[in-house]
Structure 1
Amino acid sequence: MFGKKHFTFQDIPDLSGKVAIVTGANTGVGYITARELARKNAHVFVASRSKERGEGAVEKIKKETGNEQVEYLQLDLVSLKNVKQSAENFLAKNLPLHILVNNAGIMATAWTLTEDGIQDQFGVNHVGHFLFTQTLLPKIEASAPSRIVNVSSLAHTGAPPAGIEFDKINQEDAQPTFQRYSVSKLANILYANSLAKRLEGKEVYVNSIHPGFVKTELTRGIIDKYGIIARIGLSVANLFAKSPDDGALTQLYAATSPEIVEKNYRGMYFVPFGEIGTKTAQAQDDELAEKLWKYTEDLVNEKLRA
């Protein structure tokens, strides 16, 4: 569908002296992303909820790459207090931060609220990453040239005509689960757009990407909700899915390719494998992006005060 690969692992430049955080890096595309950054000599933090799985991924990456500068960073995106603490724990290390890949996510889960009472897909995929990024942002700016990559999805095209219906985000029966996922992925793009505009003129390059349809654990929410029917459907679909290695290429492109700086790519949306993709009209709506920013900022402040 996307033709010849525009970017491969071999195109990642040497990253000696660079520090990176990859959320959701204990498995799937996030793991491959962290592994390849480490292979090119970056100091990599595997940010994930499970200490056991996170530390297991760290040891595996060290073994596969020979890079001992790989660490676990505890991050639970369902808790905004934990998200803020996680970012502060990193900042306490007094390291620079050159690459942040907001990769973690959930998809098509049954109706659930986060610890803060936010619909889980919107809360984990967007709100948690918003707070994590904003808390780390001064360090990212101070470490420039630097990159921020929001992992979105082609699924952003499935958002309703209004894009984000803020009054329906926390209404249980207002939207089907796949549409809630689409809204969260649209939010990933809109947040990248807004942040890129705010950082215009600075050497911080913020972009969003669609990794392609990849065979990963992301589909566990579908299986949990729809059971055997989903399991059968996914087993067929996975015959045509990308491997996690291929799925990681587009975010690695946005995180490391010299082209990002050379062509001054900011607020772009990339598809496999490092090609410029087409956003929906909603994903290019500056007014909606600003409305989302204020909504999220107010929501985070309210929840952290509670």
Structure 2
Amino acid sequence: MAKQEVKDKKVIITGANSGIGYEAAKVLAEQGAHVVLAVRNEERGNEAAQNIVKEHEGANISVMKLDLSDLASVKEFADAYKEGFDQLHILINNAGVMIPPYQKTKDGFELQFGGNHLGHFALTGHLLPMLKATPSARLVTLSSIAHRGASIDFDNLDGSKGYKAMKFYGQSKLANLLFAKELDNRLKRAGINATSVACHPGIAATNLFKVGGERMQPFLKPLLHKFFQAPEMGVLPTLYAATEGTLKGGEYIGPDGRGNRKGNPTIEVPAKGVYDEKTMKKLWDVSEKLTGVMFDFS
């Protein structure tokens, strides 16, 4: 391992008020990074920031509003960040919703595909000029083992022809993985000094499992801590993806245990055929069309 120094580096983490994002913010702030908590709920974001500062006196934390289910909010966040900062060393596309009832975003997208993938796609596109201007910038996008066996149903992305929550969650996490890989491919082709890496936490006991409804908690809560790893372990692939100096870009980082559910971070090889070039290009083109965000690799 050759961990990169993060002291004084500028880091954005989406969904950083809880779970994996919060754990990543704690560690990176402790190591001296200036961490921006990009959160939908600013009150919870401020609470998270205060807790980090209490634990690590002198931590450099900012809280900024970002609603990934609203493309206008995504652009407002990016514009505000570019006004307040001159560099962006690490962007961690972490926020996500999991198996909610059928809902649409403010722009009419199915919530999981819209928030988990399209929101992060648009955010990355808006911030690309700053990432290009920052030497050795790193982009990290969180996927999930739920991408296994998933596919992108381009004929039903909005769920209007039928919706199954877990199927659409898997689709959104596959989209995250394909986006991260295709982004790295395009950065390399353009000769841009930035790398894109995907990762996943295995199965971590975070409040992501509450998203499907509070009714799930009574029977899920004991199981989470018995069978799943703690967030402090679940965050390790994210930290590795964000700071490991030997990564070349395009890697997929996950736990090294059985089924990649638990353990220490390692480079994981996705199932054969996952990185289908036609699917990755189609997803990219559709994402640009739906979001109206065009990436400038020049």
TM-score by length of 2: 0.90
Residue 42, structure 1, aligned to residue 33, structure 2: yes
1:241 match: 228
SS in 2 for 1:284: coil
Residue 63 of structure 1: CA displacement? 1.8
SS in 2 for 1:238: helix
Q: Distance in 2 between matches of 1:221 and 1:158?
A: 22
Seen in structure 2, the aligned counterparts of structure 1 residues 281 and 202 have a Cα distance that, compared at 3 Å, is same
1:4 match: none
2:174 match: 186
Equivalent of 2:200 in 201, 210, 219: 210
SS in 1 for 2:11: strand
1:95 match: 86
AA paired with 1:185? K
Q: Distance in 1 between matches of 2:287 and 2:93?
A: 16
SS in 1 for 2:274: helix
- The aligned runs of 1:134-149 (5 Å cut-off) are 134-149=125-140
- The aligned runs of 1:197-276 (5 Å cut-off) are 197-200=185-188, 201-224=191-214, 227-228=215-216, 231-260=218-247, 264=248, 266-272=249-255, 273-276=264-267
Q: Distance in 2 between matches of 1:126 and 1:25?
A: 17
Unaligned runs of 5+ in 1: 1-6
Kept in 1: contact 2:5–2:243 (CA 8 A) = no
Segment drifting more, 11-20 vs 271-280: 11-20
Residue 111, structure 1, aligned to residue 102, structure 2: yes
Unaligned runs of 5+ in 2: 256-263, 294-298
Kept in 1: contact 2:32–2:59 (CA 8 A) = no
1:167 match: 155
Residue 126, structure 1, aligned to residue 134, structure 2: no
Q: Distance in 2 between matches of 1:182 and 1:205?
A: 24
Q: Distance in 1 between matches of 2:73 and 2:130?
A: 19
Seen in structure 2, the aligned counterparts of structure 1 residues 191 and 102 have a Cα distance that, compared at 3 Å, is same
Kept in 2: contact 1:103–1:150 (CA 8 A) = yes
Kept in 2: contact 1:13–1:40 (CA 8 A) = no
Q: Distance in 2 between matches of 1:172 and 1:209?
A: 30
Q: Deviations over 1:227-280 (max 9, x none)?
A: 35x6414532431111111111101001011222xxx2x111111233111213
Q: Distance in 2 between matches of 1:283 and 1:62?
A: 41
Following superposition, which runs of at least 4 residues in structure 1 exceed 3 angstroms of deviation?
Answer: 11-14
2:258 match: none
Q: Distance in 1 between matches of 2:243 and 2:3?
A: 6
Q: Deviations over 1:174-227 (max 9, x none)?
A: 241101000000000110111101111332110111111011110112334xx3
AA paired with 2:56? T
AA paired with 2:250? G
AA paired with 2:147? H
How many residue pairs get aligned? The number is: 283
SS in 2 for 1:92: helix
Residue 172 of structure 1: CA displacement? 3.9
Kept in 2: contact 1:12–1:40 (CA 8 A) = no
2:62 match: 71
Q: Distance in 1 between matches of 2:227 and 2:147?
A: 21
Q: Distance in 2 between matches of 1:283 and 1:149?
A: 18
AA paired with 1:269? Y
1:3 match: none
Residue 282 of structure 1: CA displacement? 4.8
AA paired with 2:14? T
